[in-house]
Amino acid sequence: MHALIREAEALCLRTGVTFTPPRRRVLELLAASKIPMKAYDLISQAGADGHPFKPPTVYRALEFLCQLGLVHRIEQDATFVACCHSGHTQPVALFVCNSCLKVTEVAYPNVAKVLENAAQAQGFQVESIVVEGRGQCAPCAQAA
Amino acid sequence: MHALIREAEALCLRTGVTFTPPRRRVLELLAASKIPMKAYDLISQAGADGHPFKPPTVYRALEFLCQLGLVHRIEQDATFVACCHSGHTQPVALFVCNSCLKVTEVAYPNVAKVLENAAQAQGFQVESIVVEGRGQCAPCAQAA
DNA sequence: CATTAGCATGTTATAAGATAACATAACAGG
DNA sequence: CCTGTTATGTTATCTTATAACATGCTAATG
Ligand SMILES: [Zn+2]
Ligand SMILES: [Zn+2]
Ligand SMILES: [Zn+2]
Ligand SMILES: [Zn+2]
């Protein structure tokens, strides 16, 4: 069993929420994928073994997993990727490789504060930030 | 005529691209709106005066305007907003107010470098970054 | 004045992404 | 057993975006 699944089970136990079959199935598929997946890839693949999931089921599972920080949604292309750390709620930047599509998660401890201050300087009270990027991951950059 | 339209005309002249009727119309609508608009709002409003624009026309215009930096796409909710500066290609963070939906643009001159370095520390070669946020704009934060 | 190349729009159809609304089930607490 | 809560199943639909191909518009070439 993938480590992330155990993470999820433990996390759900701790927080008193339930790790149901669709939630598990969706997380399994994402954990098995090395790259972000589209919602409808999940919908079709989840049903490959005979139990088809319909869109609402998968979207609900995705929302649940994103809230727990086990999955991240990449806004730029509406894809979803399993978190490569233990589930975190702290913000991270997601950098997607233009060549292999793999995601590199980058924490930005101080930067977030600086951004918030820059916004604050214009009177804007920040509640949430999304940082995404594109480029070349380490292996692909070296290969080039 | 809105200042942004004059900006656009001048910019297009300088760069040798053409500021066509659909492009103008879409920019006019965005410039007139105080808040971001959805593509299909533009599609229906653009045709309110008798000349209906179909989706491809509007999406093409949006792509054009975004490339010129006259319009920004907000990835989180697939909306489009006229740039409040003179058209810039430099990256800015877009902060959307949760109350009034207005956008505050925040330049992050140094932060971008720090982010790139943080990614570089993991071997990731950054090519582009998107920063978006949510919160309360200055007037709404004061009112609260 | 054709001819043609480039660019932009028009048009039709459809793909891709997401949710509303309501029915059903599973289960714990009283 | 009844009831409230949570989650899923189901149907239909809405929203966002693009593919593919036809047409028109302008400007350079000869
Ligand atoms: Zn993560
Ligand atoms: Zn790569
Ligand atoms: Zn701008
Ligand atoms: Zn506001």
Locate CATH 1.10.10.10 in chain A.
3-82
- DSSP three-state, residue B22: helix
pLDDT, mean of each 10-residue run, chain A (144 residues): 88 92 96 97 85 93 96 97 80 95 92 93 96 97 89
Which CATH fold would you assign to the domain A3-82? Arc Repressor Mutant, subunit A (1.10.10)
Name the CATH code of domain A92-143 (choices 2.160.20.10, 3.30.1490.190, 3.40.50.1820, 3.40.1160.10): 3.30.1490.190
Most A CBs within 10 Å, among B74, B95, B100, B114, to test the A interface: B95
- Cite residues whose beta carbon is less than 7 Å from strand C: A 38-40, 54-56, 59, 77-78; B 17-18, 20-23, 53-57, 60-61, 64
Ion ligand 1 contact residues with beta carbon within 5 A? A 83, 85, 105
The pLDDT tens digits for B12-32 are: 999 999 999 999 999 999 999
Interface test with A, best of B84, B97, B125, B142 (most A CBs within 10 A): B125
Q: Round to a whole number and report the distance in Å from the CA of B80 to the C1' of C17.
A: 18
- Given this model, what pLDDT does residue A87 score? 62
Mean pLDDT lowest among B41-55, B62-76, B127-141? B41-55
Q: Which ligand is nearest to the CA of B138?
A: 4
- pLDDT value for A49: 74
**Distance between CA atoms of A26 and A47, rounded to whole angstroms?**
11
CB-based burial, B18-45: b 16+ in 10 Å, e otherwise: ebeebbbbbbbbbbebeebbebebbbeb
pTM of the predicted structure, to 2 decimals = 0.94
Residue B37, SS3?
strand
**CB–CB of B133 and A130 under 8 A?**
yes
B53: DSSP letter? P
What are the strands of the beta sheet with B103-107, ordered from one edge? Answer: A103-107, A92-97, A125-136, B125-136, B92-97, B103-107
With beta carbons under 8 A apart, name residues in chain A contacting B85. Answer: none
Q: How far: A64 CA to C22 C1' (Å)?
A: 22
Q: Which residue of B has its CA nearest to A129?
A: B133
Show residues of chain B in contact with A85, CB under 8 Å.
none
Q: What is the dihedral of CA A16, A22, A26, A27, to 10 degrees?
A: 30
- How high is the mean pLDDT of chain B? 93
**Chain B residues with beta carbon closer than 8 angstroms to that of A133:** 115, 119, 124, 126-130
The ranges of chain A annotated as CATH 3.30.1490.190 are 92-143
- The token duo for A5 is 């699944």
Phi-psi region of B50 (alpha: psi -120 to 50; beta: other; left: phi over 0): left
